[in-house]
């Protein structure tokens, strides 16, 4: 059995969400009392403001090439696990589609 870093969850919209605990309610109320600049966002991953962040993989004919990529970009994708090259391709494809739609 292969090891995967993917967690699958199913959202059943026919069932109501579980009720909040008293502790959860208290945390939300404390957060609501803070102004935006008082909230610590440091544990939230950065999200690019690009339209193409929802990259998905579409099967297409592949062509092997040599491509130079910034080291930090390559490290980021490699740390996402196996099939990182497929994810790089999906991001590039999504960018291309966004550019085509903008024209």
Block means of pLDDT (10 residues each) for the chain, length 103 residues?
A: 71 85 94 89 70 62 90 92 88 87 83
Q: Is residue 77 included in any domain, yes or no?
A: yes
- Tell me whether residue 56 is exposed, middle or buried, using C-beta atoms within 10 angstroms of its C-beta: 0 to 12, 13 to 18, 19 or more: exposed
Q: Is residue 10 included in any domain, yes or no?
A: no
pLDDT at site 28:
93
The domain in which residue 91 lies consists of 45-102
State how far the Cα of 96 lies from the Cα of 1, in Å rounded to an integer: 36
Q: Is residue 64 included in any domain, yes or no?
A: yes
pLDDT at site 94:
87
pLDDT at site 103:
85
pLDDT at site 50:
59
pLDDT at site 26:
95
Q: Is residue 53 included in any domain, yes or no?
A: yes
Q: Is residue 1 included in any domain, yes or no?
A: no
CA atoms within a 13 Å half-sphere pointing along the CA-CB vector of 33: 6
Q: Is residue 12 included in any domain, yes or no?
A: no
Give the number of domains in the chain.
1
Q: Is residue 13 included in any domain, yes or no?
A: no
Q: Is residue 72 included in any domain, yes or no?
A: yes
């Amino acid at each position: 059995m292969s090891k995967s870093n993917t967690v699958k969850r199913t959202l059943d919209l026919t069932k109501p969400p579980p009720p909040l605990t008293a502790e959860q309610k208290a945390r939300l109320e404390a957060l609501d009392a803070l102004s935006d600049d008082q909230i610590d966002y440091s544990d939230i991953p950065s999200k690019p403001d690009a339209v193409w962040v929802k990259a998905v993989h579409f099967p297409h004919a592949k062509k092997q090439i040599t491509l130079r990529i910034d080291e930090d970009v390559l490290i980021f994708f490699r740390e996402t696990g196996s099939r990182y090259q497929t994810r790089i391709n999906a991001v590039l494809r999504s960018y291309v589609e966004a550019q085509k739609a903008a024209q």
